[in-house]
């Protein structure tokens, strides 16, 4: 594990590096998609910055809410501390910030969600590389299988071999990003985001069985309950589209409310 990289007098946190790379990679996809749609390229940077700020604030607030009993004595100190970032909180905060940006730009429509879908998957995949390199405790349960790993030098160290769940998530969501990107011009408006909800929710729900998180209710973790909600929303979304249009494939001619067509 390499929680830190020392470059002379400078010490870099590997999780922070991957966090930055996640936004750069996701931003590159958003930028490319906006160009394909004939929109200003700078929208990609604006949207990425909004997601970054909203994500940081949301992940921190979500962490404080989840751990209120432990941090209530020093809320302000924990708010600006260097630890405690929760992915779902970041997703919520980032989404709200991006919606605000889209409203300002007059681009609050289903296409916006589809633009974000592959980028969200890619950013998550890269972010999990940071979890793996830093050994931040997002690894799985004790296991002695053929590719089991220990994290003796991680920020949350363990000498017991465990399931390397960050690697599983990077591979799964990396494939998800590739798949969603290749479907971007093949499905109706909004369906790409619905597919993201189905895929990402299923991935997180399944990997939680291997992680060491505590069960909250119904024998499931909080992340699994949140993932089920994602799957339900995505499934209902797809079902409605299929009922109305007979499928999720993009029609040959643009229909009212359909996604913007790429600029050729």
User: Domain residue spans in the chain?
Assistant: 4-186
26-83 per-position pLDDT tens digit:
999 999 999 999 999 999 989 989 988 888 888 777 777 766 666 566 555 544 444 5
Which residue is listed with tokens 């363990």? Answer: 158
pLDDT over 50 (residue 239): yes
141-194 per-position pLDDT tens digit:
999 999 999 999 888 899 999 999 999 999 999 999 999 999 999 999 999 999
Name 13's Cβ contacts closer than 8 Å, sequence gap at least 6: 3, 4, 134
Give me the pLDDT at residue 4, please.
79
Q: Cα–Cα distance between 175 and 153 in angstroms, integer?
A: 29
pTM for this model (two decimals): 0.85
188-211 per-position pLDDT tens digit:
999 999 999 999 999 999 999 999
Taking CA atoms, 78 is separated from 75, 159, 213, 222, in Å, by 5, 28, 22, 22
Q: Of 160, 88, 162, whose CA–CA distance to 132 is shortest?
A: 162
pLDDT band (50, 70, 90) for residue 214: confident
pLDDT over 90 (residue 223): no
88-137 per-position pLDDT tens digit:
677 788 889 999 999 999 999 999 999 999 999 999 999 999 999 988 88
For residue 35, give both structure tokens. 């160009």
Give me the pLDDT at residue 194, please.
98
Strand ranges (DSSP E) for the chain? Answer: 4-7, 10-13, 149-151, 158-162
242-256 per-position pLDDT tens digit:
999 999 998 875 454
Give me the pLDDT at residue 15, please.
82
Q: Cα–Cα distance between 259 and 252 in angstroms, integer?
A: 12
Give me the pLDDT at residue 261, please.
43
Give me the pLDDT at residue 75, please.
52
């Amino acid at each position: 594990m390499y929680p830190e990289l020392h470059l002379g007098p400078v010490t870099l946190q590997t999780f922070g590096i991957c966090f930055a790379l996640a936004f750069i990679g996701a931003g590159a996809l958003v930028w490319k998609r906006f160009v394909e749609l004939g929109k200003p390229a700078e929208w990609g940077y604006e949207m990425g910055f909004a997601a970054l700020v909203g994500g940081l604030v949301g992940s921190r607030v979500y962490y404080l809410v989840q751990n209120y009993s432990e941090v209530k004595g020093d809320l302000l100190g924990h708010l600006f501390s260097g630890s405690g970032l929760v992915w779902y909180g970041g997703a919520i905060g980032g989404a709200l910030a991006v919606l605000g940006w889209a409203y300002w730009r007059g681009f609050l429509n289903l296409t916006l969600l589809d633009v974000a879908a592959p980028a969200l998957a890619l950013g998550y995949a890269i972010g999990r590389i940071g979890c793996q390199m830093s050994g931040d405790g997002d690894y799985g349960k004790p296991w002695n299988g053929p590719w089991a790993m220990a994290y003796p030098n991680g920020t949350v160290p363990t000498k017991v071999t465990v399931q390397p769940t960050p690697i599983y998530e990077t591979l799964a969501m990396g494939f998800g990003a590739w798949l969603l990107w290749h479907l971007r011009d093949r499905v109706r408006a909004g369906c790409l985001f619905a597919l993201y909800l189905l895929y990402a929710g299923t991935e997180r729900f399944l990997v939680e069985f291997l992680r060491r998180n505590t069960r909250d209710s119904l024998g499931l973790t909080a992340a699994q309950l949140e993932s089920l909600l994602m799957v339900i929303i995505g499934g209902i979304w797809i079902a409605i589209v299929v009922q109305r249009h007979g499928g999720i494939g993009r029609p040959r001619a643009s229909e009212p409310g359909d996604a913007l067509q790429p600029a050729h």
